[in-house]
Amino acid sequence: MKFRCEREALAEALATAGRAATGRTGALPVLSGLRLELVGNQLSVTGTDLDLTIQLSIEVGGDGDGGVVLPARLAADIVRSLGTGKVDVVVEGDDVSISNGRSHFTVRPLSFDDYPKLASPVNSSVTLPAQQFGDALRQVVRAASTDEARPILTGVMMTAEGDGLRMVATDSYRLAVRDLVGQQVLAADQKVLVPGRALNELQRLVGGGDEVTMRLGDRDATFEVGTTRLTTRLIEGEFPNYRQLIPPSHPNTLTVEREPLLEAIRRVKILAKDATPVRLQMGGDTLRLTAITQDVGNASEELDAVYVGTELTVAFNPDYFAAGVEACIGDSITLSTLDALKPAVVRGVGIDDYLYLLMPVRVP
């Protein structure tokens, strides 16, 4: 088995599939590798840790069909280090030769026979616009937990909602909800819980295509973008009742321009050390942001704003607050509150398909 390929294309394929290869100690050694299979001029590259699988194919100049498993990180580092131009890969016995110009590497492969056989995805599928789905992922996945001790919260719930698809994520400190109206992906009352880690990887892929094809099995979900296929095991369990967290009404509403607010948060949080919250003093036609850290200093900034309600000071984790403002679409956002201790809701002005709910931080 041997093939020739442009360095950039091969490096990108190895890096993409390599993000699914496991680096965990105690896992099967072969799972730290990438499975390369050549049929004609099509090279298939696969990485998996059994929970997440990324497989893609690229066009190469092939000479002799075959397969090999290469150490994922080592192969990616080698190809990335090479000069521009063609890379030659030759598999001979127990050695794999990787060369480019006057650079030459020899790598010992992993066991091809030990690499797990992967199941084929289900035949039934639905197609989503890549840009719309990518925007929804960007807005929602950020609110999913990364704490593996709470596996349910590391997922994004997808559920049928009205005539469309609703995506929900929470880490118990914040909640993101996005509706994709008109995208009937699931049956009525059907819910699936997709790992946030897998959807993070999918975000990287959706920019490369016009459509995303989604296939749902009993225990896994597959997403296809162009020639790349991502398969993930679904999370089993009951997602929290998020609806009860969203207040039915808010007597206090702040409207402020999105970009100036983001810039102000970034400046003020320089002084928000050791999880210090940022205070928002709301009243009249200004918003004042303040961060006070004992023995370090303080920072404050005022912005023009429109506020309707009773004067109020509320405090948030600055990173969580900035993430919600950044996720909104539009020139201005609204921050709706009940009081200093109840959840607040961030939305883009005039945008009804996305909300970001945030728990305040109690301050003296």
pLDDT tens track for 72-101: 999 999 999 999 999 999 999 899 999 999
Q: Which tokens belong to 291?
A: 């961060």
The terminus-to-terminus CA distance of the chain in angstroms comes to 69
Low-confidence ranges of the chain (pLDDT < 70): 25-26
Structural domain span for residue 260 = 247-358
Q: Which tokens belong to 10?
A: 């091969």
Q: Is residue 326 part of a domain?
A: yes
**Using an 8 Å Cβ cutoff, are 100 and 129 in contact?**
no
What is the distance between the alpha carbons of residues 161 and 334, in angstroms, rounded to a whole number?
A: 24
> CATH code at 43?
3.10.150.10
Q: Is residue 202 part of a domain?
A: yes
**Using an 8 Å Cβ cutoff, are 313 and 280 in contact?**
yes
- Note whether 232 and 329 are same-domain residues: no
Choosing from 107, 135, 166, the residue where a domain stops is 107
Instruction: With H, G, I as helix, E, B as strand and everything else as coil, classify residue 322.
Output: helix
- Note whether 254 and 240 are same-domain residues: no
Question: String of b and e for 14-50 (b: at least 16 CB within 10 Å)?
Answer: bbbbbbbbbeeeeebebbbbbbbbbeeeebbbbbbbe
Predicted pLDDT of residue 364: 77
Q: Is residue 185 part of a domain?
A: yes
Predicted pLDDT of residue 124: 80
- Note whether 10 and 101 are same-domain residues: yes
What is the distance between the alpha carbons of residues 75 and 81, in angstroms, rounded to a whole number?
A: 10
- Note whether 226 and 302 are same-domain residues: no
- Note whether 130 and 238 are same-domain residues: yes
- Note whether 167 and 277 are same-domain residues: no
Predicted pLDDT of residue 25: 63
What is the distance between the alpha carbons of residues 206 and 95, in angstroms, rounded to a whole number?
A: 36
What is the distance between the alpha carbons of residues 194 and 223, in angstroms, rounded to a whole number?
A: 11
**Number of folded domains in the chain?**
3
- Note whether 189 and 218 are same-domain residues: yes
What is the distance between the alpha carbons of residues 361 and 307, in angstroms, rounded to a whole number?
A: 21
Q: Is residue 268 part of a domain?
A: yes
Q: Which tokens belong to 85?
A: 């131009």
Instruction: Count Cα atoms within 13 angstroms, Cβ side, for 280.
Output: 32
What is the distance between the alpha carbons of residues 34 and 47, in angstroms, rounded to a whole number?
A: 5
Instruction: Classify residue 220 as exposed, middle or buried by CB count within 10 Å of its CB (0-12, 13-18, 19+).
Output: buried
What is the distance between the alpha carbons of residues 63 and 76, in angstroms, rounded to a whole number?
A: 22
**Using an 8 Å Cβ cutoff, are 356 and 333 in contact?**
no
Residues in CB range of 216: below 8 A, 6 or more apart: 122, 124, 186, 192, 222
Predicted pLDDT of residue 129: 92
Predicted pLDDT of residue 323: 97
Q: Is residue 113 part of a domain?
A: no
Predicted pLDDT of residue 275: 79
Q: Is residue 118 part of a domain?
A: no
- Note whether 156 and 237 are same-domain residues: yes
Closest CA to 226 of 79, 55, 60, 72: 55
Would the pTM count as exceeding 0.75?
yes
- Note whether 217 and 162 are same-domain residues: yes
Closest CA to 87 of 107, 104, 106: 104
Amino acid at 151: P
Choosing from 72, 107, 142, the residue where a domain stops is 107
Q: Is residue 194 part of a domain?
A: yes
Q: Is residue 363 part of a domain?
A: no
- Note whether 135 and 235 are same-domain residues: yes
Pairing of strands 52-59, 228-233: antiparallel
- Note whether 147 and 83 are same-domain residues: no
- Note whether 76 and 171 are same-domain residues: no
Residues in CB range of 58: below 8 A, 6 or more apart: 5, 9, 10, 13, 42, 43, 45, 227
